[in-house]
Chain A
Amino acid sequence: MSTSLQDPIRTAVLSATGLRIATTAGKEILHDVSFELQPGKILALVGESGSGKTTAGLACLGHFRAGLTHTGGEIRMAGSGPSSNILDLPEPERRKLRGGVISYVPQDPALSLNPAMRIGDQIMEVLQVQGHGSSDAERRARVAEVLAEVGLKNDDAYQRRYPHQLSGGQQQRVGIAMAFACRPSVIVLDEPTTGLDVTTQALVLQTIDQLAELHNVAGLYITHDLAVVAKIADEVVVMLSGEVVEQGPTERVLYQPQHDYTRKLLDSVPDLAGKRRVGRTSVITGEQPVVDPRPAAAEDRTRREASANFLEVSGLRLAYGSNQILDGISFTLAPGESMMLLGESGSGKTTLSRCVAGLNDDYSGEVRLSGDTLSAGTRARTAEQRQRIQYVFQSPFSSLNPRRTICESVEVPLQMSGKMGRKERRRRVLEALDQVRLGSSYLDRRPGDLSGGERQRAAIARALVNAPSLLVCDEVTSALDVSVQASIIDLLRALQHETKMSMLFVTHNIALARHISQRMAILQHGQIVESGSTDEVLEHPRHEYTRELLANVPTF
């Protein structure tokens, strides 16, 4: 990155050099970050949460979030007036750049679109603010044009829709249309596909790729998903706690990583083929043996013959009004078996797992545990039944009471199920924390002191403290970074080996299949469209939906 701006061969549209950003309290967040954006190319900024990738991305817009100040370095924009350093411009000047020359696509379209404004008007607004075009008619034509560019319908009826009338993927494409509306030369994309399912993600990525190339736009793609990087980026910058640890062309960084951290990051990405082994790398995970479904499955088979089905769900139905969430779900689970429930958002997978755990009590159908039919709500179940099925929530940021210590949170199941004394409970809690590789030092800390991964471990400890025979994991890794995800998956596998419990692993990430489950069931619109052993489903998918899913999984 020593090439200067004036270099005729490499004409970077935007170049950041020696960028330093610190908190107002004086702690430096970005240390000397430099990168260049080339027209028509996409640069991916990769890193985990807290690595400063979003901060760096926003700096390209000349924006610093509250509590952050710019302490050094510059961001130069080719041909942006007398002073090409964006960060030297006064705020009103910077505001003019944003949305016009440099635009931004935020992470969650559902939050960034105004729910009370029609989408056509929202795109219009950008054009009006930027003074694009000379008349309203011209601007209107541009709105129609840009909607077509992102692959949406552009008739009047469509433009008159409100954001809630669009799907997540369509909303994100509207967001992209807004960003592209004024024909920017730089576009900053902040994890635009994180909330989308694989099929939609593939479409959105394709749209971005095409538009960037077609209009010669330089893209800065902020993400933590390396598989997406492989698909879309031309160059990669890997960041670790505010520092660039590696940068270069995508092929080189992903296939011949130089830095230890990049290698670690790459190793923790789950893959469909099971080539990589999530959970064997040095620091990120423990010494869990190769995650291989076959021997475990074979071992199960003998046991399955010996005992009846451990969990049996039959004809489960649930509707909210006219919206049929679950439409006759039936499956069985053998003792010690791990099953993946795969589905996109809205497929009813969380509702299903909550029905099994008794958190949802207005379903019809039957859930049987070792032959006994379970009542619908947890309060109606016996203490023993409650103890046998445990549920781990999706977000560790919401599942632990911030005002109670880890020990107080984890001991709740013990308090409710037995007459154990305080000391005995504390001992059991400590054992459970040991199982999830958290030490005694965590007992009296509050969730606020813990990282996401640590919190999720504590939440798993709460589920384990009563020695359950079935663990229901609802998207337990979707709020976490890949390396943390790897260690949690690793932990769950190890725990399953240790305790021989059954596991229902609910997820939208098909790439995890070989790393966690022996069997899988695929859910679509509240129905199981395909189920079978992991190998069977992945290698010989029978349903069209499964095939589509498999085809759209980004891999590298």
Chain B
Amino acid sequence: MTAIDSPQLVTQETKAPPGLLRRLVAQRQAKIGIGLTAAVVLLALLGPVLLPVITGFTSTEFTGRPFQPDGVFGTDNLGRDVLSRFLDGGLRLLAYSALATLLGMVLGVLAGMTAAYAGGRVDSLIMRSNDVLLALPSLVFALLAITVLGPEGWVLVAVIGITHAPRIARVTRSATVDVITEDFIRAAEMYAVPRWKILVQDVLPNITGPLMVELGLRMTYSIGAVASLSFLGLGMQPPTADWGLMINENRIALVIQPWGVILPVLAIAVLTVGINLITDSLARAAANANVGASK
């Protein structure tokens, strides 16, 4: 019996499977993902603060000759302490990715919900301009924007956010289309509730499932994008400490002094895998009310 058509089961069932978050945490995958992500995020957050305590150097200070095994992880191409740069380099990456994802979500969700709700010509206009944006390779778009506007932080965030928006808009639109055919939307229409209020009150809370999944997915892409743009020299500029930049700076000496590459690569990989695990579990929790119940 489905929960819907059985009065006796309803009360019981609503007590048994709790909210999305509980179902998420109930999965082992999600626990691992949360652990991995939390470790890297903590490292990135606390790194800059604890820098003087742990190494005693700042991230731009020259501590010795290049590529020497001084300190815990040696020195980099300019003779700076690798550990110091590693500890200092995560926060910017995380902050930029988070901001870019947020920007992408706001733009995408607005565009997607408007398109689905308005329908007709507005829908076509929004979704076709979306297609144009999608047709542009995101890296080419980023190169173009950064060459014109300069490698500033806000440009990076804006460019990555804008490349995410069309994809998020598509997901939002399809989720919204399912919801707006429901009678409760029609009821709100009947009471002449302002359209923006219908979107915020009635549509948005009902599409959080797919949106959360999309959020996690886009976050991993943002991290990848920020790191690769920095690697290409278009993101963070030297001498700023940054994981993407570190990989580029130190890859020439991969054999003699591998830590300068391994540490940031490892951190980015762990972070990406962690967020992906959470996203996957979230998708499962959103789709199935019984996830984690039997474990």
Among A381, A404, A409, A412, which residue has the most Cβ atoms of chain B within 10 A?
A412
Determine if A49 and B294 form an interchain contact, defined as CB atoms under 8 angstroms apart: no
Q: Mark B1-18, 1 if CB is under 8 A from A, else 0.
A: 101111111111010100
Determine if A412 and B191 form an interchain contact, defined as CB atoms under 8 angstroms apart: yes
Determine if A49 and B10 form an interchain contact, defined as CB atoms under 8 angstroms apart: no
Which of A25, A394, A454 sits near B294, CB closer than 8 Å? Answer: A25
Contact A401-B1, Cβ < 8 Å, known A393-B183, A416-B192, A453-B7: no
The answer for the CA separation of A272 and B69 in the assembled complex, in Å, is 95
Determine if A462 and B294 form an interchain contact, defined as CB atoms under 8 angstroms apart: no
Which residue of chain B has the shortest Cβ distance to A462 in the bound complex?
A: B187
Determine if A413 and B191 form an interchain contact, defined as CB atoms under 8 angstroms apart: yes
Which of A357, A400, A412, A449 sits near B10, CB closer than 8 Å? Answer: A449
Contact A412-B192, Cβ < 8 Å, known A25-B293, A49-B7, A453-B7: no
CB distance from A112 to the nearest CB of B (A): 17
Determine if A412 and B14 form an interchain contact, defined as CB atoms under 8 angstroms apart: no
Determine if A398 and B14 form an interchain contact, defined as CB atoms under 8 angstroms apart: no
Q: Mark B208-223, 1 if CB is under 8 A from A, else 0.
A: 0000000000000000
Q: Mark B147-188, 1 if CB is under 8 A from A, else 0.
A: 000000000000000000000000000000000001110111
The answer for the CA separation of A462 and B1 in the assembled complex, in Å, is 28
Determine if A393 and B186 form an interchain contact, defined as CB atoms under 8 angstroms apart: yes
Which residue of chain A has the shortest Cβ distance to B184 in the bound complex?
A: A401
A286 interfacial by beta-carbon distance below 8 Å: no
Determine if B1 and A54 form an interchain contact, defined as CB atoms under 8 angstroms apart: yes
Among B10, B16, B188, B206, which residue has the most Cβ atoms of chain A within 10 A?
B10
B129 interfacial by beta-carbon distance below 8 Å: no
Contact A393-B187, Cβ < 8 Å, known A49-B1, A449-B14: yes
Using a CB-CB cutoff of 8 Å, which residues 379-412 of chain A contact chain B? Answer: 379, 381, 383, 386, 391, 393-395, 397-404, 409, 412
A279 interfacial by beta-carbon distance below 8 Å: no
B254 interfacial by beta-carbon distance below 8 Å: no
Which of A403, A448, A451 sits near B7, CB closer than 8 Å? Answer: A451
Determine if B192 and A386 form an interchain contact, defined as CB atoms under 8 angstroms apart: yes
Which of A378, A395, A402 sits near B192, CB closer than 8 Å? Answer: A378
Which residue of chain A has the shortest Cβ distance to B13 in the bound complex?
A: A448
Determine if A404 and B205 form an interchain contact, defined as CB atoms under 8 angstroms apart: yes
The answer for the CA separation of A386 and B206 in the assembled complex, in Å, is 26
Determine if A403 and B206 form an interchain contact, defined as CB atoms under 8 angstroms apart: yes
The answer for the CA separation of A294 and B47 in the assembled complex, in Å, is 84
Determine if A386 and B191 form an interchain contact, defined as CB atoms under 8 angstroms apart: yes
Determine if A399 and B183 form an interchain contact, defined as CB atoms under 8 angstroms apart: yes
Q: Which residues of chain B are within 8 angstroms of A462 by Cβ–Cβ distance?
A: 187
CB distance from B253 to the nearest CB of A (A): 55
Contact A24-B187, Cβ < 8 Å, known A49-B5, A52-B1, A449-B11: no
The answer for the CA separation of A53 and B12 in the assembled complex, in Å, is 19
Q: Mark A499-541, 1 if CB is under 8 A from B, else 0.
A: 0000000000000000000000000000000000000000000
Determine if B7 and A27 form an interchain contact, defined as CB atoms under 8 angstroms apart: no
Among B7, B190, B205, which residue has the most Cβ atoms of chain A within 10 A?
B190
Determine if A409 and B184 form an interchain contact, defined as CB atoms under 8 angstroms apart: yes
The answer for the CA separation of A368 and B205 in the assembled complex, in Å, is 37
Determine if B1 and A29 form an interchain contact, defined as CB atoms under 8 angstroms apart: yes
Determine if A399 and B184 form an interchain contact, defined as CB atoms under 8 angstroms apart: yes
Size of B's binding interface in residues, CB under 8 A: 31
CB distance from B225 to the nearest CB of A (A): 33
B237 interfacial by beta-carbon distance below 8 Å: no
The answer for the CA separation of A378 and B193 in the assembled complex, in Å, is 10
A194 interfacial by beta-carbon distance below 8 Å: no
A358 interfacial by beta-carbon distance below 8 Å: yes
Among B4, B189, B193, which residue has the most Cβ atoms of chain A within 10 A?
B4
The answer for the CA separation of A39 and B192 in the assembled complex, in Å, is 59
Determine if A378 and B10 form an interchain contact, defined as CB atoms under 8 angstroms apart: no
A452 interfacial by beta-carbon distance below 8 Å: yes
Determine if A452 and B202 form an interchain contact, defined as CB atoms under 8 angstroms apart: no
B240 interfacial by beta-carbon distance below 8 Å: no
A50 interfacial by beta-carbon distance below 8 Å: yes
Q: Which residues of chain B are within 8 angstroms of A358 by Cβ–Cβ distance?
A: 190
B201 interfacial by beta-carbon distance below 8 Å: yes
Which of B10, B205, B206 sits near A448, CB closer than 8 Å? Answer: B10
CB distance from A441 to the nearest CB of B (A): 12
The answer for the CA separation of A180 and B184 in the assembled complex, in Å, is 41
CB distance from B26 to the nearest CB of A (A): 13
B124 interfacial by beta-carbon distance below 8 Å: no
Which of B3, B186, B188, B206 sits near A412, CB closer than 8 Å? Answer: B188
The answer for the CA separation of A54 and B3 in the assembled complex, in Å, is 14
The answer for the CA separation of A20 and B183 in the assembled complex, in Å, is 38
Q: Mark A201-235, 1 if CB is under 8 A from B, else 0.
A: 00000000000000000000000000000000000
Determine if A359 and B186 form an interchain contact, defined as CB atoms under 8 angstroms apart: yes
Using a CB-CB cutoff of 8 Å, which residues 396-440 of chain A contact chain B? Answer: 397-404, 409, 412-413, 415-417
Determine if A416 and B7 form an interchain contact, defined as CB atoms under 8 angstroms apart: no
CB distance from A33 to the nearest CB of B (A): 14
Determine if B16 and A25 form an interchain contact, defined as CB atoms under 8 angstroms apart: yes
A450 interfacial by beta-carbon distance below 8 Å: yes
Determine if B294 and A24 form an interchain contact, defined as CB atoms under 8 angstroms apart: yes
The answer for the CA separation of A359 and B191 in the assembled complex, in Å, is 10
CB<8 Å pairs between A and B, sample of 12 = A27-B12, A49-B7, A55-B1, A67-B290, A359-B189, A391-B190, A393-B183, A401-B202, A403-B206, A412-B191, A450-B10, A452-B4
**Which are the 4 A-B pairs with shortest beta-carbon distances?**
A50-B6, A451-B7, A49-B5, A403-B205
